[in-house]
């Protein structure tokens, strides 16, 4: 039994790709008789985060998904993130970074192996205390450096249920941003450990982040979860599905006259779990669910389906 979860960010309404991934996270967990958690990943909540998160929760429930225990919110877990960061600092496994995002993206990274986008080349790793002080003064009194994890720059391999072994160079990734907000890569590892998560199902755009997160989990003495990176849903232009593509949210689909049941069946058909137009409950999809038969390629939605 592997405890699973779905962890959306309240940056906007869930679109068809998010809903499809949520269905898969639920199916993977329930197919092993497991519990399913729901966590709102609101590290830096905006003014409307609570409202957006509640809409996401409602959409998931209307699609037929359920979860075990209360919904948790990441912004409530700041103390656990700070505790882990303090422990890493005490172990001399961190250093301040004064680079802007643009500088990181423009810097050349030695090609030692596959790396996640924006992999850090180590620019600030070996700065002397005097050089750090100079960089801090250059930032000004209203800005602070980010905090990075000091790694060995080696290749880490994790196992993925759909992709097999996934290897990537683990760079000195950010633990805490310059604005004081913990990074996603830190928070997701700490929260998954605290919540007892053993299986992470998410979009395959995050696949090269998994070695980073596994590296940090091992530093913490935490269990590295099983990863399942599922194919994305793409818009008609072949890029990741977005609001600009048309009727992509549950509310959009309802405005076209569809019910949540029809949306669920539409997504199920894209996974090979139902015939086009065939009604199917989540319980029925669970009976048909076979991870080995899931599609491995992205699903592209055509313009006519999106209301164009």
- Tell me the per-residue pLDDT of 16-30, one tens digit each, with 9 for 90 and over: 999 999 999 999 999
> Over 50: is that where the pLDDT of 111 sits?
no
Judge contact between 53 and 115, C-beta under 8 A: no
**Residue 111: CA atoms inside 13 Å, Cβ hemisphere, count?**
0
| Cα–Cα distance measured from residue 308 to residue 304, given in angstroms and rounded to the nearest whole number | 5
Identify the domain containing residue 40 by its residue range: 4-70+231-306
Residues 56 and 112 in one domain: no
- Tell me the per-residue pLDDT of 42-67, one tens digit each, with 9 for 90 and over: 998 888 999 999 999 999 999 999 99
Residues 56 and 91 in one domain: no
Burial 193-217 (b: 16+ CB within 10 A, else e): bebebbbbbbbbeebbbbbbbbbbb
Residues 83 and 163 in one domain: yes
Domain of 95, CATH number, reads 3.90.800.10
| Cα–Cα distance measured from residue 228 to residue 20, given in angstroms and rounded to the nearest whole number | 14
Q: Which of 242, 238, 185 is nearest to 210 (CA)?
A: 185
Q: Which two tokens stand for residue 38?
A: 């729901």
Domain of 32, CATH number, reads 3.40.50.620
Q: Is residue 179 part of a domain?
A: yes
pLDDT: which is higher, 88 or 118: 88
- Total structural domains within the chain: 2
Residues 87 and 66 in one domain: no
Q: Which two tokens stand for residue 243?
A: 């609001």
């Amino acid at each position: 039994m592997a405890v699973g979860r779905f962890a959306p960010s309240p940056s906007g309404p869930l679109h068809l790709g998010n809903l499809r991934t949520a269905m898969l996270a639920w199916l993977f967990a329930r197919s092993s008789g497991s519990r399913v958690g729901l966590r709102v990943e609101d590290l830096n909540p905006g003014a409307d985060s609570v409202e957006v998160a509640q809409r996401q929760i409602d959409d998931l429930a209307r699609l037929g998904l359920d979860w075990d225990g209360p919904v948790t919110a990441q912004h409530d877990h700041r103390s656990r993130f700070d505790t882990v960061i303090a422990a890493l600092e005490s172990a001399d496994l961190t250093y301040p970074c004064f680079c802007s995002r643009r500088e990181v993206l423009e810097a050349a990274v030695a090609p030692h192996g596959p790396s996640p986008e924006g992999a850090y080349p180590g620019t600030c790793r070996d700065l002397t205390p005097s050089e750090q002080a100079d960089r801090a003064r250059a930032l000004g009194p209203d800005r602070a450096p980010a905090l990075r994890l000091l790694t060995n720059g080696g290749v880490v391999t994790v196992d993925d249920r759909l992709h097999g072994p996934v290897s990537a160079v683990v760079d000195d990734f950010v633990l805490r941003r310059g604005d004081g907000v913990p990074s996603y890569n830190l928070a997701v590892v700490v929260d998954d450990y605290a919540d007892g998560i053993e299986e992470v199902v998410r979009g395959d755009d995050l696949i090269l982040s998994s070695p980073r997160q596994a590296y940090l989990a091992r530093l913490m003495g935490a269990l590295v979860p099983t990863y399942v990176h599922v194919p994305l849903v793409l818009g008609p232009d072949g890029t990741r599905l977005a609001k600009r593509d048309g009727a992509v949210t549950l509310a959009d689909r309802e405005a076209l006259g569809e019910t949540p049941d029809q949306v669920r069946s539409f997504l199920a058909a894209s996974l090979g779990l139902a015939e086009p137009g065939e009604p199917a409950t989540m319980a029925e999809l669970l009976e048909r669910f076979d991870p080995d038969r899931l599609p491995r390629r992205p699903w592209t939605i055509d313009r006519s389906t999106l209301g164009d």
